[in-house]
Amino acid sequence: MKKVLIPCLLLATTGCAGNHPRGFDGPPPPGGNGGRPLDARLFVSPMGEPFRGDEDGLRPQDVWFRAADRNGDGAITVDEMAADADRFFAILDRNRDGGIDPDEVAYYEKVLLPQSGGGDGPPRGGRPDGEDHGHGPGRRRPPGGGFGGGGSPPGGGQPPRGGDDHASKDDRPDYSAMGASRFGYLRLPEPVSAADTDFNRTITQLEFEAAARQRFALLDRNHDGRIVPGELPHLR
């Protein structure tokens, strides 16, 4: 009996039991990932969830796509994107109080996705007026929410790699080589915090869903209400 209970308890304490799509293997192991660098085969979904492929060799971005495509028709709709965000929100909301608070954001940044920077990169929080609310002295959030706001809708991020970006490089910084941006489709170094559009340091489910719908619009290149694999940016 002990051999059965202990693994179940460990899964329950990580908040991962039964919540992750096939292919998610929890926090990256210390010191490497099966002899590979921690970043090997890492994909970060539009909402910030890390995927590292599966045992059959499926690419991590395909693991995410298949999980988000709930009806298996080969396309993701905006409602499916929102449902996928709700599923990941339930994982991040570790104390089940209906919001992702600073401690839960810290767990995400330092345990689930240390590649986001974990507080060591460019400013991730604060308010536009420079007033600090626990994110570090003098740190400001770019307009539009999170790192990748720029001139785009709050919480949505900048256009995907290879997308039509009408703003010049001088109009806003390029975060494509920072944090989680290196492993996903959108220029969002910290995709979870980017959803905190009212800057109150707590991300509600409504904010997270709204960010999912905005990010869907960025990835739906032909604006037909469906995202198919062929219109998603190519990842290295």
* 20 vs 141 pLDDT, higher one: 20
| Residue 14 pLDDT > 60 | no
* 166 vs 204 pLDDT, higher one: 204
Q: What is the pLDDT of residues 83-115, one digit of tens each?
A: 999 999 999 999 999 999 999 999 999 999 999
Domain boundaries, the chain: 2-25+41-231
Tell me, what's the pLDDT at 54?
A: 74
Share above pLDDT 90 across residues of the chain, in percent, rounded to a whole number: 52
Q: What is the pLDDT of residues 154-182, one digit of tens each?
A: 577 666 755 544 445 555 666 667 899 99
Give the global pTM: 0.68
* 195 vs 139 pLDDT, higher one: 195
Q: What is the pLDDT of residues 22-70, one digit of tens each?
A: 444 444 433 334 444 445 589 999 999 999 877 777 899 999 999 999 9
Phi, then psi, of 81 in degrees rounded to 5:
-65, -40
Tell me, what's the pLDDT at 53?
A: 76
In whole angstroms, how far apart are CA 129 and each of 132, 158, 191, 198?
9, 22, 21, 13
Tell me, what's the pLDDT at 172?
A: 60
Task: Please give the Cα distance from 190 to 123 (Å, whole number).
Answer: 10
Tell me, what's the pLDDT at 56?
A: 75
Task: Give the orientation angle of helix 205-219 with respect to helix 78-92, to 10 degrees.
Answer: 140
Tell me, what's the pLDDT at 169?
A: 52
CB atoms within 10 A of CB 182: 18
| Residue 13 pLDDT > 50 | no
At residue 205 the predicted structure's pLDDT band, cuts being 50, 70 and 90, is: very high
Task: Please give the Cα distance from 69 to 83 (Å, whole number).
Answer: 10
At residue 224 the predicted structure's pLDDT band, cuts being 50, 70 and 90, is: very high
Average pLDDT, the chain: 73
Average pLDDT over residues 210-229: 97
β-strands 76-77, 226-227: how paired? antiparallel
| Residue 218 pLDDT > 70 | yes
**DSSP letter for each residue of 7-60:** HHHHHHHHT-TTTSPTT---SPPTT-BTTB-TTTT-EE-TTS-EE---TT---H
Tell me, what's the pLDDT at 194?
A: 96
